[in-house]
Amino acid sequence: MPLSTPQIPASHRDGVLAAMKAVDKPGLAIIDGRERASRSGRTFDNYTSRDGSLINKIAACDARDIDDAVASARVAFEDKRWRGQSPKARKKILHHLADLMEAHAENLALLESLDTGKPIRDARGFDIPAAINTVRYYAEALDKIYGEVAPTPDDRLSYVLHEPLGVIGAIVPWNFPLHMAMWKVAPALAMGNSIVLKPAELSSMTALYTAQLGLEAGLPDGVWNVVTGLGHEAGDALSRHMDVDMIAFTGSGPVGRQLMKASAESNLKRVSLELGGKSPQIVFSDCDDLDGAAAGAAWGVFYNQGQVCTAGSRLMVEASIKDDFVARVAAVAKTIRVGDPFDPDTQFGAMISQRQMNTALDYIEKGQAEGGRLVMGGNRVCADSGGYYVEPSLLDNITPQNVLAQEEVFGPVLSVMTFTSEDEAWKTANDTVYGLAAGLWTANISKAMRGIAALKAGLVWVNGWDACDITSPFGGVKQSGFGRDRSLHALHKYADLKAVSISF
Ligand code: NAP
Ligand code: MG
């Protein structure tokens, strides 16, 4: 395994310095179109997991700041400064925002990489372009949403309008900070809502930066607020607020449950939840591209250091090809270049935090204690950098009831299981509380069709992992949550139907 110790070679120093310059100030919330400290004056420390050093201090907002932001969003919604503009004008502003994000893409990528420890090549090549594409997609969509005319007798006209909900609270995680934020912000804005966004405390920087670009692009004050802070303070206050119409959430199951409870205990605001999974990759012996499948299996779990809600963390292989296939996956995993996120060649950087690193290492230990065989990895690496790196890890001999077959690790840990019949494959694949994504690899189209019908998942991929984009809906079933991001369907999440009837 080519493990380089993260240092700052001269070639990467410019990137680090540029990123540090871009954050060379405290992170301030954006409320009612202005940068603001928290009312309490408190801040929290923002570290980079790249080497454990302090990046900056960020406003630790609480319920009072959330009140300010919600009030500003409400006024902006009621006086129609945004939703009252023509679709053409709103579309132009969102495209202008995308143009500015493109012009600032390098800064955004540097910030994202610094804030999260993810490889700069991923931030440049995926996170930021995908966030921009999301804004463009919904900018284009917003003037193509029509209402309906219902069938009626001659003396009546009944029609159906899509009306924006009002004030949307968006609470997002740290694994793809800007990308996940824009999956919520862009469709909510396209439908004419106002937004209060609470970024994850570990990754606030790109949301703050982009909301400033939004103001420059012409979004009116108060339409998109960003309130930084801790989940149990700012997040909790947002979820309990009596004047928030909806919470759109991506994150963990326990917090998802709290959000539903907070809704029930406050104003019955609607809630959408994207809560991760334990997604299976099912490989049949008749797969005609085992090397392609091995690459899909390895990158399906190790991308973004395994911190992906759709991570294909359960590798289910037909028993007759298991040893051969696991060797192929390990061969791919061994080529993954682990190291300093700011090295443009690095493919696998630091985990988000010391806590998340320790969680992954604990799961690897638990897996072995339950009889799992460590095929590769299993260790913290690059420790002398001060950062939090865990190498790609592969455990064989996992059984369906083991912790590593049931619980989401959210780290670079792949569990290998076997099956001997098609029915057993579908049954084991469905045997967790989750249902986000599932993949299967086979040359047999009939088998693939049976799998598509049998698998309980919001996303099913055949002969290619994660082969979809903004044009397809994204979300899960069972305890992976409900509600969809991406595609035109996401627009309807941020709107209500008004049925009108005119008699004459
Ligand atoms: P998390 O605790 O669910 O955090 C997600 C977001 O919710 C963050 O903005 C967080 O704020 C906020 N939050 C936390 N407590 C809250 C509360 N009581 N009320 C309202 N908002 C609250 O997830 P995490 O700690 O970042 O990660 C823990 C685990 O969640 C991971 O190991 C993984 O299993 C899962 N996860 C899933 C996804 C996904 O894409 N589905 C993404 C990230 C994590 P703070 O950042 O300030 O706590
Ligand atoms: Mg950070």
Q: What is the pLDDT of residues 160-177, one digit of tens each?
A: 999 999 999 999 999 999
Residues pairing with 322 in the sheet? none
CA 418 distance to own-chain centroid: 30
d(C-alpha 145, C-alpha 87), whole Å = 10
| Ligand 1 pocket, residue 198 CB under 6 Å | yes
DSSP 321: G
Q: Give the model's confidence band at 199: pLDDT under 50 very low, under 70 low, under 90 confident, else very high.
A: very high
* Residue, of 7 and 308, whose pLDDT is higher: 308
Tell me the ligand closest to 234's alpha carbon.
1
d(C-alpha 106, C-alpha 120), whole Å = 10
Residues pairing with 150 in the sheet? 158
Radius of gyration of the chain (CA): 23
| Ligand 1 pocket, residue 201 CB under 6 Å | yes
Residue 304 is predicted with a pLDDT of 98
For residue 9, the tally of other CB atoms under 10 A from its CB is: 11
Q: Give the model's confidence band at 310: pLDDT under 50 very low, under 70 low, under 90 confident, else very high.
A: very high
SS3 381: strand
Residue 468 is predicted with a pLDDT of 87
Residue 3 is predicted with a pLDDT of 35
Tokens 């969509």 -> residue: 141
d(C-alpha 416, C-alpha 372), whole Å = 9
Mean per-residue pLDDT for 337-344?
94
C-alpha angle 333-133-465 in degrees, rounded to nearest 5: 30
Taking CA atoms only, the protein residue closest to ligand 1 atom 4 is 251
- Which atom of ligand 1 approaches the CA of 171 most closely? 9
User: What are 131's two structure tokens?
Assistant: 């966030």
| Ligand 1 pocket, residue 274 CB under 6 Å | yes
User: Is 316:283 a contact under the CB 8 Å cutoff?
Assistant: yes
What dihedral angle (degrees, nearest 10) is formed by the CA atoms of 404, 253, 494, 226? -110
| Ligand 1 pocket, residue 441 CB under 6 Å | no
User: Is 234:228 a contact under the CB 8 Å cutoff?
Assistant: yes
Distance 201 CA to ligand 2 centre (A): 7
pLDDT over threshold 50, residue 492: yes
Of 46-50, 353-357, 443-447, give the lowest mean pLDDT range: 46-50
Tell me the ligand closest to 251's alpha carbon.
1
Q: Give backbone dihedrals phi and psi of 143, rounded to 5 degrees, phi first.
A: -100, 25
| Ligand 1 pocket, residue 276 CB under 6 Å | yes
Q: Is 468 an active-site residue?
A: no
Residues whose Cβ atom is located within 5 A of ion ligand 2:
46, 115, 202
Tell me the ligand closest to 200's alpha carbon.
1
DSSP string, 70-115: HHHHHHHHHTTTTTTS-HHHHHHHHHHHHHHHHHTHHHHHHHHHHH
Of 8-12, 71-75, 266-270, 422-426, give the lowest mean pLDDT range: 8-12
- Which atom of ligand 1 approaches the CA of 203 most closely? 46
Closest CA to 294 of 306, 307, 285, 283: 283
Residues pairing with 274 in the sheet? 250, 481
Confidence (pTM): 0.96
| Ligand 1 pocket, residue 230 CB under 6 Å | yes
pLDDT over threshold 80, residue 444: yes
Residue 187 is predicted with a pLDDT of 98
Mean per-residue pLDDT for 285-302?
98
CA 232 distance to own-chain centroid: 20
User: Exactly one of 309, 318, 382, 408 is catalytic; which is it?
Assistant: 309
Q: Is 407 an active-site residue?
A: no
Strands (E), 165-253: 167-171, 194-198, 224-226, 246-250
Tokens 């939840």 -> residue: 273
Tell me the ligand closest to 232's alpha carbon.
1
For residue 254, the tally of other CB atoms under 10 A from its CB is: 9
pLDDT over threshold 80, residue 318: yes
**C-alpha torsion sign, points 72, 74, 76, 82:** positive
pLDDT over threshold 50, residue 471: yes
- Which atom of ligand 1 approaches the CA of 356 most closely? 32
d(C-alpha 313, C-alpha 301), whole Å = 6
Q: Give the model's confidence band at 135: pLDDT under 50 very low, under 70 low, under 90 confident, else very high.
A: very high
Summarize pLDDT for 13-36 with one digit per residue, the tens: 566 666 666 656 679 999 999 999
Where helices occur in 198-353 by DSSP H, the ranges are: 205-217, 236-240, 253-265, 290-302, 322-334
Q: Give the model's confidence band at 55: pLDDT under 50 very low, under 70 low, under 90 confident, else very high.
A: confident
Residue 4 is predicted with a pLDDT of 37
- Which atom of ligand 1 approaches the CA of 256 most closely? 3
> What is the best residue among 236, 252, 410 to mutate for testing ligand 1's pocket, by most ligand atoms within 8 Å of CB?
252
